[in-house]
Structure 1
Amino acid sequence: MFDLDRWREIFQSINKNRLRSVMSGFTVAFAILLFTLLFGVANGLGNFFKGAFADDAQNAMFVRVWKTSKPYKGLQTGRRVQLKNKDYDYIADEYENKIQYKSSRIYKNFTIKYKNEASSYSVMAVNPDHQYLEKTIINEGRYLNERDLKAKSKVIVIGRLIKKDLFGEKPALGKRVNVNGSSFLIIGIFSDDGGDNEERKAFIPLSTSQAMYGNNDYISQIALGYNPNLSTDAAIAFGNQMERDLRKKLNIHPDDQSALSVRNMAEANKFVGTVMLALFFIITFIGSGTLIAGIIGISNIMIFVIKERTKEFGIRKALGAKPSSIVGMVVQESVLITTIAGYVGLTIGTYILSLIGNSLEEKYFIKDPSVSSEIVIGATFVLIVSGLIAGYLPAKRAANIKPIEALRAD
């Protein structure tokens, strides 16, 4: 394998037959290039779907209400449905074993002011579990806790960009800000993978909001995290059952989607899983076809090459070369060309994906298209083995021909 004379002969053969070497390499490089692009685009679509749900927990469910669009039990159309604390407590008690996290939500838009800096921000009143439902990352301080909720504390957790807007590079933790005319203590600063809009939000205790802004027990939405031990189908069934029970409890028509809806991430996960599985099979089928085409191309070229070099092999045998030496030289040459061409195809494919990545995301919802090194290395290995077999079989036949017959070959 490390015979210097053998490698010198191989490079001389490649240099002497440049067109043949280039054609062999091009077949492999093109196959790996297409393979890389196909799987890169597929992974990009997968990244887009994952990014679309990056802001919420994968097991999240959201109960929202609005106005009725159908009459029911003598109640007229256009009735405003209102969720209350008792509805939240009902869900928490009724489905305790199927719920991992739970939180009510109240949406507000308030001006938050610190000294001379002020701006309007989305302020959400929540329960402590909301941290996990929203996938909130605490950078400084802490999140809301049960003590804040029971004491109806005037505390606030602000997003990273609110801190930047109001405080710049100065510390914000422990400072007081004016929220819609009331003083709140900053107890935490968070970041969020959902983007800039999510980091310009603030969270306050639900009980504080209900006491200060309405003196009622109204809530805007209920957010849940279903038990992660539930299968996808079981989680979907749980969401459907809860929706039916809430419709009965709130006197809403069974088919009135406007009045009440449950957004269940289990349904989204199942849809994305189905799409990605179908896409994987399609890409695998096309990618396999590309590899097979590459294998056929290598085989055809190697058969032609061996036939072309039959006289050369006859001379080598006449000079004392062993058949195994001839076969080994051809196989090494084939593997070398295949390996180098595979690497070139992978490099070009990866570069193209990085070059067009941004435009694909803007136009076709393909985010960060890339391909795992394991898949491409595996595909390259398949082509290398194919190149080895493609070179070995015809070379072995040619090496076993008698020298006199080889010299007479056309």
Structure 2
Amino acid sequence: MFDRDLWGEIFQSISKNKLRSILSGFTIAFAILIFTLLFGISNGLQNTFSSSFVNNTPNAIYIYSGRTSIPYKGNKSGKRIRLSNKEMNYLKRHNKNKIDHISAQVFKNFNVTYQDKKNSYSITAAQPASQFIETFKLSKGRFINIPDINQKEKIAVIGRLVKEDLFKTKNAVGKYINLQGISFKIVGIFNKEGDDNAERIIYIPLSTAQVLYANNDYVDQINLTYNKNMSYPQVEAFSKSIEDQLKEILVVSPKDQGAIRVRNNAEAVKETNMIMMVLTLLIFFIGFGTLIAGIVGISNIMIYVVSERNKELGVRKVLGASPKSIVALILLESITITSIAGYVGILIGIGSVNLIGNSLEQYFITNPTVDTSIIIGAMITLVISGCIAGYVPAKRASKIKPIVALRDE
């Protein structure tokens, strides 16, 4: 294996038969290149689907209200249905074993000022559980807590970009900002990965907003997370149960599809997983087909290479070369070419994925990456296939009598 003369012969054979070596290597390099690009694109598409759930937990349910579409028990069609603290507390009491976190929210848009700086931001009046439902990260300070809700405190938690707009590099925690003429103390700063719009939101206590800006207990939305141990059919049944409960206490027809809308992430996650599974299988079969094409190509080339070298092998046998050494020579030459070509294919493939990665976002392919272990595994498969493909004709050629090999045309 480490015979210097043997390796000298191998590299001499490769250098003297450049076209043959290039064709053999090109088949391997091209197969690995295509394989790498396919898996890079596949991972990019999976990243795109996964990013849909960066800002919200997969086990979240969102409840909205609308207008009635069917007259029911004295309520006319087109009546505006309003959710309130009452409905949220009802759901919390009657589903406490299934709900992990629940929070009502009210949405506003206010002009916010700090000293001489002024801008318009989205205001979300929320409760402490919103921190766990929307899964943002606090970079400094704290979020809204129970005492803030009970005492209707005038505190605010601002997004990273709000902080940069109003305070630049200065510390914002402990400072006061003005929301529609009322001062709020900043107690925390948060960020949300991959969502700049969310980082321009300001959170304030729901109870405070209801007293100061609405003078009622209406809410725009109720968000909750359910027990993660629930199966998909159980989640579907739970979502339907929530809808039925709200329709009953709000006097809405069970057949009304517009008055109460319940959306759960489980369905979106299921659909996304199915799409990703189909995509993975598709990429796998295409990649597998590429490898098969590479194996067939290298097999044909090896058969041709061995038959072309019959005279050379005959001379070697005349000079005393054993059948074993002839087979080893051909196999090592095959391994050398396929290994070098495979490595080159990997480098070009990974380089291509990194080079064009950012430009693929317009095609919903986000941050395409390649699992090196999979690519190396594919290359090893091709190398082994090349060895097997070369072994059969090499073994046959090693058994040919020298006089027959020398006469071969």
Partner in structure 1 of residue 376 of structure 2: 377
Deviations 1:293-351 (A, max 9, x none): 11000000000001111111111122122222211121111112112212222222222
Partner in structure 1 of residue 212 of structure 2: 212
Cα contact 2:66–2:261 (8 A) shared by 1? no
Deviations 1:202-244 (A, max 9, x none): 1111111112112221111000111111223322232122222
- Look up the SS of the partner of 2:357 in the other structure: helix
Q: How does 1:168-183 map to 2 (within 5 A)?
A: 168-183=168-183
- Does the C-alpha gap of structure 1 residues 349 and 253 become closer, same or farther in structure 2, counting only changes over 3 Å? farther
Q: Distance in 2 between matches of 1:231 and 1:63?
A: 20
Partner in structure 1 of residue 135 of structure 2: 135
Once the two structures are overlaid, the 10-residue window that deviates more, 235-244 or 275-284, is 235-244
Q: How does 1:57-76 map to 2 (within 5 A)?
A: 57-76=57-76
Q: Distance in 2 between matches of 1:67 and 1:179?
A: 30
Deviations 1:178-199 (A, max 9, x none): 1111111111011101421110
Cα contact 2:112–2:178 (8 A) shared by 1? yes
- Look up the SS of the partner of 1:97 in the other structure: coil
Cα contact 2:142–2:187 (8 A) shared by 1? yes
* 1:311 corresponds to 2:314: no
Partner in structure 2 of residue 221 of structure 1: 221
Partner in structure 2 of residue 114 of structure 1: 114
* 1:367 corresponds to 2:369: no
Q: Distance in 1 between matches of 2:247 and 2:5?
A: 84
Q: CA deviation at 1:6?
A: 1.5
Partner in structure 1 of residue 344 of structure 2: 344
Letter in 2 for 1:231: S
Q: How does 1:278-357 map to 2 (within 5 A)?
A: 278-357=278-357
Q: Distance in 1 between matches of 2:50 and 2:251?
A: 36
Q: Distance in 2 between matches of 1:16 and 1:159?
A: 67
- Look up the SS of the partner of 2:97 in the other structure: helix
Structure 1 residue runs without a partner (length 5+): none
- Look up the SS of the partner of 1:202 in the other structure: strand
- Does the C-alpha gap of structure 1 residues 194 and 133 become closer, same or farther in structure 2, counting only changes over 3 Å? farther
Once the two structures are overlaid, the 10-residue window that deviates more, 243-252 or 49-58, is 243-252
Q: Distance in 2 between matches of 1:64 and 1:301?
A: 65
Q: CA deviation at 1:53?
A: 2.1
Q: CA deviation at 1:120?
A: 0.9
- Does the C-alpha gap of structure 1 residues 236 and 346 become closer, same or farther in structure 2, counting only changes over 3 Å? farther
Deviations 1:254-284 (A, max 9, x none): 3433322111100000000011111111111
Q: CA deviation at 1:405?
A: 2.3
Identity over the aligned pairs, expressed in percent?
A: 52
Partner in structure 2 of residue 42 of structure 1: 42
Letter in 1 for 2:4: L
In the alignment of these two chains, the number of paired residues is 409
Once the two structures are overlaid, the 10-residue window that deviates more, 126-135 or 317-326, is 317-326
- Look up the SS of the partner of 2:320 in the other structure: coil
- Look up the SS of the partner of 1:79 in the other structure: coil
Cα contact 2:173–2:186 (8 A) shared by 1? yes
Structure 2 residue runs without a partner (length 5+): none
Q: CA deviation at 1:28?
A: 1.0
- Look up the SS of the partner of 1:74 in the other structure: coil
Cα contact 2:302–2:389 (8 A) shared by 1? yes
Partner in structure 2 of residue 399 of structure 1: 398
Q: Distance in 2 between matches of 1:247 and 1:335?
A: 71
CA RMSD in angstroms, aligned pairs only: 1.4
Q: Distance in 2 between matches of 1:67 and 1:17?
A: 79
Q: Distance in 2 between matches of 1:352 and 1:72?
A: 62
Partner in structure 1 of residue 105 of structure 2: 105
Letter in 2 for 1:353: V
Q: How does 1:176-191 map to 2 (within 5 A)?
A: 176-191=176-191
Letter in 1 for 2:199: E
- Look up the SS of the partner of 1:213 in the other structure: helix
- Look up the SS of the partner of 1:96 in the other structure: coil
Q: CA deviation at 1:177?
A: 1.1
Letter in 2 for 1:158: I
Q: Distance in 1 between matches of 2:332 and 2:350?
A: 27
Letter in 1 for 2:174: G
- Look up the SS of the partner of 2:148 in the other structure: helix
* 1:254 corresponds to 2:285: no
Q: Distance in 1 between matches of 2:50 and 2:5?
A: 54
Partner in structure 2 of residue 81 of structure 1: 81
Partner in structure 2 of residue 165 of structure 1: 165
Cα contact 2:45–2:364 (8 A) shared by 1? yes
Partner in structure 2 of residue 6 of structure 1: 6
Letter in 1 for 2:94: E
- Does the C-alpha gap of structure 1 residues 255 and 45 become closer, same or farther in structure 2, counting only changes over 3 Å? farther
